[in-house]
């Protein structure tokens, strides 16, 4: 069975109010230091906004373009999202277009 690759962003969103717990920021109201993963939060931790339990949070993740088994192939571009791949392709096209046009200004 083929599965698309999913990358976890380290963020969890409350289903009740939309509050986002970001592990790089932590939760200064509890206080939770930056760098604490969601799974390592104490059991009595609640949403800072609405007071919902940890079970009301959903993980925020990004689906990477491509299958999970193919992520190790290539030059690292298999792990890019579809938006990042589009930016890489069209950005390089614009770069080389400008590079070739700059040849007309050489004396």
Q: How far apart are CA 82 and CA 88, in angstroms?
A: 10
Where does residue 100 rank: exposed (0-12), middle (13-18), buried (19+ CB within 10 A)? exposed
Asked if pLDDT for residue 7 goes beyond 80, the answer is: no
Asked if pLDDT for residue 24 goes beyond 70, the answer is: yes
Mean pLDDT of 15-34: 91
Q: What is the pLDDT of residues 40-73, one digit of tens each?
A: 999 899 998 999 999 999 999 887 766 666 666 6
pTM (2 d.p.): 0.60
User: Coil, strand, or helix at residue 70?
Assistant: helix
Averaged pLDDT of the chain: 86
Please tell me the predicted confidence (pLDDT) of residue 9. 84
Q: How far apart are CA 22 and CA 32, in angstroms?
A: 11
Asked if pLDDT for residue 2 goes beyond 70, the answer is: no
Q: How far apart are CA 22 and CA 63, in angstroms?
A: 18
Match domain 4-105 to its CATH number in 3.40.1190.20, 1.10.10.10, 2.30.40.10, 2.20.28.10: 2.20.28.10
Q: How far apart are CA 89 and CA 83, in angstroms?
A: 10
Which sequence spans correspond to the domains of the chain?
A: 4-105
């Amino acid at each position: 069975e083929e599965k698309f690759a999913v990358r976890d962003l380290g963020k969890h969103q409350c289903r009740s109010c939309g509050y986002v717990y970001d592990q790089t920021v932590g939760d200064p109201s509890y206080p939770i230091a930056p760098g604490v993963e969601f799974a390592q939060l104490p059991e009595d931790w609640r949403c800072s906004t609405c007071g919902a339990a940890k079970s009301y949070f959903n993980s925020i993740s990004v689906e990477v373009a491509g299958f999970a088994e193919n992520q190790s192939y290539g030059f690292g571009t298999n792990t890019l999202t579809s938006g990042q791949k589009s930016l890489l392709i069209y950005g390089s096209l614009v770069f080389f277009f400008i590079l070739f046009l700059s040849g007309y200004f050489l004396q």
